[in-house]
């Protein structure tokens, strides 16, 4: 595995205002062992089929969901698939996997490492939160017969640590604000580090546009873009009227990535069965000469290009993403996970899309982690971190 940074842009400040994940660690997860991947504002995993690109993004998404408080069985519906193939069970028939990350922010680098038992039953068996060489939270499974782990967090008061049980079916770090009083400097350090990690992890949008789902009219709803982008027309109905500037940028991007002239991109209400307007909309390209092309007529590459451009040009208010509502938006960063980022795209589309991503990521409010079959086409784009998983 090799990592390179394309472009000469200086590294981010040591303590940025917006917490973000700067390293993903897969100590033992699926095809990965003892692997650590540095992440920049725009990172592309590349390598042959089976090299572990998708599993790296899957691990990142799992950490994000756990950071948001999701239960373990929701995050890992098939936990055995995450266990390294050659991992042997111990004397108690236990097998599992280990993942972790580092989040940089106002508190400096904060590390989170999690050990998950997949067999014979799913549970978290160990968790460690550290910063500056100091262990702030550590959990361990002491009694397999109980559905809890023994936790110890830094106190630095009359007692160096505080011990208490935590559930074994969810991450302990996001639970700390409910358990730590914050009366001592040590406790406040624990809370600050936990908040930084949770904020860095929570605002994640995993996106894999499915062209076949974008070709038909869709019902009007909340106007929040779903993972597969099947409700793209509904989101266009909302965003075209709410933000003219961003819509103009989207039209410019679509014009560069779609065949033929493009004057505008819009959504149109559909007539009901008896001639009245019903609750569905379809997306259209306005060609500027009286012709409007339904999105259903576009190629797969054009639709994926359009959907990914929309994702990059919008924000958490438009995407179906769990954000830290108690933290101001100015202190949060949205991370887009895009498996198959270059799938179905031609040379012009993928270069245009990565340049758009680089411009948006440069502003600091959005980050992108994508998986591509080959990243040589991104060589001329500054600010791209390429993680090559070539054996």
pLDDT over 70, % of the chain = 92
Structure tokens at 38: 């540095």
- 79: pLDDT strictly greater than 60: yes
Residue 331 pLDDT exceeds 80: no
Asked whether residue 17 carries a pLDDT value surpassing 90, the answer given is no
pLDDT score recorded for residue 121? 94
Residue 203: the pLDDT is: 87
Distances (CA, A) of 126 to 98, 170, 172, 193, 213: 9, 11, 10, 18, 40
The pLDDT assigned to 317 comes to: 80
- Where residue 6 falls among pLDDT bands split at 50, 70, 90? low
Q: What is the mean pLDDT of residues 223-234?
A: 93
pLDDT tens track for 340-367: 999 999 999 999 999 999 999 998 889 9
pLDDT of 321 strictly over 90 = no
- What pLDDT shows up at residue 173? 97
Tell me what the mean pLDDT of segment 48-66 comes to: 95
Q: What confidence tier does 11 reach under pLDDT thresholds 50, 70, 90?
A: very low
pLDDT digits (tens, 9 = 90+) for 123-162: 999 999 999 999 999 999 998 889 999 999 999 877 888 9
In this structure, are residues 213 and 233 in contact, taking their beta carbons and an 8 Å threshold? Answer: no
Pairing of strands 20-29, 95-104: antiparallel
Q: Residue 60 above 70 pLDDT?
A: yes
Question: Distance between alpha carbon 67 and the CA centroid of its chain, in Å?
Answer: 12
Is the pLDDT score of 53 beyond 70?
A: yes
pLDDT at 330 over 60: no
Question: pLDDT value at position 12?
Answer: 41
pLDDT beyond 90 at 43: yes
Q: Give the residue with greater pLDDT, 350 vs 379.
A: 350
Please, which contacts does 78-83 make with residues 24 or more away whose CB atoms are closer than 8 Å?
79/116, 79/118, 79/119, 79/122, 80/118, 80/119, 81/30, 82/29, 82/30, 82/55, 82/58, 82/116, 82/118, 83/28, 83/30, 83/118, 83/119
Closest CA to 196 of 16, 5, 25: 16
**How many CB atoms lie under 10 A from the CB of residue 78?**
7
Model pLDDT, residue 9: 44
Q: Which two structure tokens, joined as six digits, stand for 240?
A: 């075209």
Domain boundaries, the chain: 2-203, 212-318
């Amino acid at each position: 595995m090799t990592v390179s940074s394309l472009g000469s842009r200086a590294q981010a400040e040591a303590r940025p205002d917006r917490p973000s994940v700067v390293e993903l660690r897969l100590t033992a997860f699926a095809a990965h062992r003892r692997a650590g991947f540095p992440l920049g504002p725009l990172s592309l995993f590349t390598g042959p089929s089976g090299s572990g690109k998708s599993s790296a993004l899957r691990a990142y998404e799992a950490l994000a969901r756990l950071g948001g408080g999701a239960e373990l069985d929701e995050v890992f519906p098939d936990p055995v698939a995450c266990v390294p193939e050659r991992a042997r069970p111990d004397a108690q028939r236990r097998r599992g996997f280990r993942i972790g990350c580092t989040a940089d922010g106002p508190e400096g680098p904060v590390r989170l490492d999690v050990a998950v038992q997949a067999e014979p039953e799913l549970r978290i068996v160990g968790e460690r939160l550290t910063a500056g060489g100091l262990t702030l939270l550590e959990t361990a499974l002491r009694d397999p017969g109980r559905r809890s782990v023994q936790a110890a967090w830094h106190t630095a008061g009359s007692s160096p640590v505080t011990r208490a049980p935590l559930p074994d079916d969810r991450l302990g770090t996001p639970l700390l604000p409910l358990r730590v009083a914050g009366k001592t400097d040590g406790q406040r350090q624990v809370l600050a580090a936990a908040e930084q990690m949770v904020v860095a992890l929570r605002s994640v949008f995993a996106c894999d546009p499915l062209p076949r789902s974008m070709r038909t009219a869709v019902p009007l709803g909340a106007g929040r873009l779903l993972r597969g982008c099947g409700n793209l027309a509904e989101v266009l109905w909302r965003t075209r009227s709410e933000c003219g500037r961003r819509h103009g940028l989207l039209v410019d991007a679509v014009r560069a990535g779609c065949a033929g002239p493009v004057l505008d991109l819009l959504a149109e209400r559909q007539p009901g069965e008896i001639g009245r307007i019903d609750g569905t909309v379809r997306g259209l390209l306005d060609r500027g000469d009286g012709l409007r092309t339904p999105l259903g007529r576009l190629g797969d590459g054009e639709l994926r290009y359009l959907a990914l451009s929309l994702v990059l040009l919008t924000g958490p208010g438009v995407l179906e993403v769990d954000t830290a509502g108690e933290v101001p938006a100015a202190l949060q960063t949205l991370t887009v996970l895009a498996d198959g980022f270059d799938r179905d795209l031609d040379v012009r589309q993928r270069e245009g899309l990565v340049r758009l991503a680089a411009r948006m990521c440069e502003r600091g409010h959005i980050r992108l982690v994508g998986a591509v079959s080959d990243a040589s086409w991104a060589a001329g784009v500054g600010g791209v971190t390429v993680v090559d998983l070539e054996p």
